[in-house]
A and B are shown apart, each in its own frame.
Chain A
């Protein structure tokens, strides 16, 4: 576990400079994305690029990787000035980038994906030959994934490994990872850090783009902080504190919010009793799950994504059939009720795939605002919609949720990602008069939006709602929950009160090691 620390102190800032970028400036129309940014990368280091959304981290990386051409500035690779005409040229020179959204072809195999567009691929191929070559490449690089598997069959972490292998196979000496942990579980992130350290031990350089302070502190040797398109500072990781970094990132002193919370209520508002349900592929996703959430309480559901959490949220929100068991909201049995009846009963739901499920991009903001209550007597008559009332509601929602949009008639797809999220979260918060289900509500959001969402969860709690928070970010769960349950393979394996929760124990349960957790005897 500590080998990373040892390696870190040695190589921090000591290696030879491998990439130098000076005065890089890049604009898109009238928006300046990079303003005379300088950056240097040394051999054998993990260099973190830290900043909020829009700070320029991905832009500068895209410049290094040959995807964008800078408006001005120079790039030197091993002392020699280079102009990359295309990503291919950068790859040729040894700079490879793994993006947040993988460029993988789902129905094709790992082996095929790795060999796609690769000069070394022979002209005539067979599946077996590609798989053998892939195994060879993976051994060289030190990563292992089943070469014959088709991409859609792999977990996100494995897919990422395929992407990394692809890039390394083409001779990348400098590997840029763009927000790699955004799609990983805590466990997978840890594994990734191990991979990163072993790569730099072999003399490569890794650029780690992130906005997560903890991770940056854990794995990097040096940190460059960007803000508003400018570089704020480059410093060694050793000795940096989260507070300081946060201040550098946001430019303001951020008080760590001490949440002085009142005790949770004891009136059960949401009762999930012995619920058993099937998942999308037909197998049992939930097995006799029982969870109770009281008014004014946040119950956090910890666990690795894919262990039934989403099905749980869908069951409560009325989007999935229950085979056995009951769901009771404020005394009313809503087990067989339609999702509309449940929404009317005051159950709000931020879905895991927010934009894919929660928003109709081609429809107006106004229509999206009433997506979950357009049928109410206030908003519609028997046949027609009350457009006036709907417009009024939409305007109020947009104001309250601080959604920036030219008008409520703009198509929702025209809003920026952050505003889309605010629209969805704000709408669901309004629906949630009694119960609020939030499934991975902060995944992929920047610091400010994350805090907004967490704040709204606490507000709901203070207003007496029952909040069910599902998240694979354990820190988030620990920070916000009054009680924590752990789900694994469709069952609840353990329950903890706030304060008595132990990271390691929870981690074990998340991995299914119920026995070990119990035997620790705590």
Chain B
């Protein structure tokens, strides 16, 4: 009797449960590898990588106190909108809703806040509150149509929210160079300054208190999704909408609510950036923060801790890139590096969700049964 040998098949098998530690480790590994590749590419094309490193170090003034470090503070200001937008996206992602329109909602939030901010003149705290409400409303209204379309007509939200991004940018452009243009300042192509600003963090040069908002929000989200009924229900809908309906959850209404909240947060993000950094509304008020936020959220998965860490890291990366422009590294190269890093993390994310199985001899995870 001859025997037939089964060759060792190497294949990928999906894990259902990924330990948070493994998940984080693998992504970081992917990130580092990608970064390494990018730096290698830079070196190979003749750039002095160590010198670039020194530039970044100087810029961030890591040796000095934070209060004096302009570089670190500007990184913080950069991280704020990215993190806020990331949180907006992350809330949607818990229900498998991909809100790639955070950029547009950011713009509309800033627009609404500007509307209040340049036409009303009240005491700062009051005005800021009104502007924040306007910002939330602006963002929520901007996502309303895609939200209804998704909740009730099952229209894919990626494309619908995406298209509105361009419309938002165009509208803001038009307003800021047109009807709301600052007539007084001839050179500036933007609105007049808004009548309220966010106070700075005591002791700092440029870092505004809005920096803490996403951190607080992330903590709140962490608690909401771990301990509240509402958060539980959102996770159930994300896991299996039919089972959620079976559990008595009104799925379309929940989709609508979650998307509106996501839009509102992005809108507030716009208002915060307006009143913390730019002070005027202009067509370029966002430097793709929404895009970055989306990426951070998508890579962070379900973890808000990872989201904060990732957002801070991306802000650092972009901020260093800006610093390096002085050293001759164009912003485009930085973008390209960003892209490569993204791929690295995506590969890491994939690796953490699946594992390589080499035929027999692998230990089976508990609870798995043999195929029939």
Cβ-based interface call for A331 (8 A): no
- A31 engages B370 (CB within 8 Å): yes
- A359 engages B367 (CB within 8 Å): no
Shortest CB distance A40–B (Å): 16
- B239 engages A362 (CB within 8 Å): yes
- A358 engages B243 (CB within 8 Å): yes
- B372 engages A406 (CB within 8 Å): no
Cβ-based interface call for A237 (8 A): no
Shortest CB distance B229–A (Å): 5
Residues of B within 8 A of A380 (CB): 229
Max chain B Cβ within 10 angstroms of own Cβ: one of A318, A340, A383 = A383
- A73 engages B4 (CB within 8 Å): yes
Contact with A along B347-372 (1 / 0, CB 8 A): 00000000000001110111111111
Cβ-based interface call for B245 (8 A): yes
Instruction: Closest A residue to B372 by CB, please name it.
Output: A58
Contact with B along A47-74 (1 / 0, CB 8 A): 0000001100111000000000111111
Stretch in contact with the other chain, from B146-154, B230-238, B325-333: B230-238
Instruction: Closest B residue to A410 by CB, please name it.
Output: B367
Cβ-based interface call for A279 (8 A): no
Shortest CB distance A322–B (Å): 17
Residues of A within 8 A of B230 (CB): 383
The size class of the interface chain B forms with chain A is 35 or more
- A383 engages B239 (CB within 8 Å): no
Cβ-based interface call for B247 (8 A): yes
- B232 engages A71 (CB within 8 Å): no
Known: A73-B4, A383-B228. A359 touches B247 (CB 8 A): no
Shortest CB distance B157–A (Å): 20
Shortest CB distance A409–B (Å): 9
Instruction: Closest A residue to B359 by CB, please name it.
Output: A29
Contact with B along A350-389 (1 / 0, CB 8 A): 0101001111111100010001101100001001110100
Contact of B239 among A29, A363, A387 (CB under 8 A): A363
Instruction: Closest B residue to A69 by CB, please name it.
Output: B6
Known: A360-B243, A367-B236, A385-B227. A411 touches B17 (CB 8 A): yes
Cβ-based interface call for A343 (8 A): yes
Cβ-based interface call for B2 (8 A): yes
Cβ-based interface call for B28 (8 A): no
- A374 engages B367 (CB within 8 Å): no
The distance in angstroms between the C-alpha atoms of A374 and B249, with both chains bound, is 12
Contact with A along B290-331 (1 / 0, CB 8 A): 000000000000000000000000000000000000000000
Contact of B367 among A59, A338, A414 (CB under 8 A): A414
Shortest CB distance B344–A (Å): 26
Shortest CB distance A281–B (Å): 16
The distance in angstroms between the C-alpha atoms of A31 and B6, with both chains bound, is 15
Cβ-based interface call for A416 (8 A): yes
Chain A count of residues within 8 A CB distance of the other chain: 56
Contact with B along A63-93 (1 / 0, CB 8 A): 0000001111110000001010000000000
The distance in angstroms between the C-alpha atoms of A385 and B231, with both chains bound, is 10
The distance in angstroms between the C-alpha atoms of A406 and B368, with both chains bound, is 10
- A406 engages B17 (CB within 8 Å): no
Cβ-based interface call for A339 (8 A): yes
Residues of A within 8 A of B216 (CB): none
The distance in angstroms between the C-alpha atoms of A371 and B242, with both chains bound, is 12
Known: A319-B246, A363-B239, A405-B367. A29 touches B227 (CB 8 A): no
Instruction: Closest A residue to B223 by CB, please name it.
Output: A384
Cβ-based interface call for A266 (8 A): no
Chain A, range 406-432, C-beta contacts under 8 Å to B: 406, 410-411, 413-416
The distance in angstroms between the C-alpha atoms of A31 and B229, with both chains bound, is 41
- B4 engages A72 (CB within 8 Å): yes
Contact of B364 among A30, A338, A340, A357 (CB under 8 A): A30
- B236 engages A363 (CB within 8 Å): yes
Cβ-based interface call for A28 (8 A): yes
Residues of A within 8 A of B16 (CB): 361-362, 411, 413-414
Q: Name 9 A/B residue pairs within 8 A (Cβ), A-sorted.
A: A28-B370, A30-B364, A31-B370, A54-B370, A339-B248, A372-B247, A405-B367, A414-B16, A416-B369
Give 20 A-B pairs besides A338-B248, A356-B243, A380-B229 with Cβ atoms closer than 8 angstroms: A28-B371, A29-B362, A33-B370, A54-B372, A57-B372, A69-B6, A70-B4, A71-B5, A357-B246, A361-B239, A367-B232, A367-B235, A367-B236, A372-B247, A383-B228, A406-B366, A413-B16, A414-B16, A414-B368, A416-B367
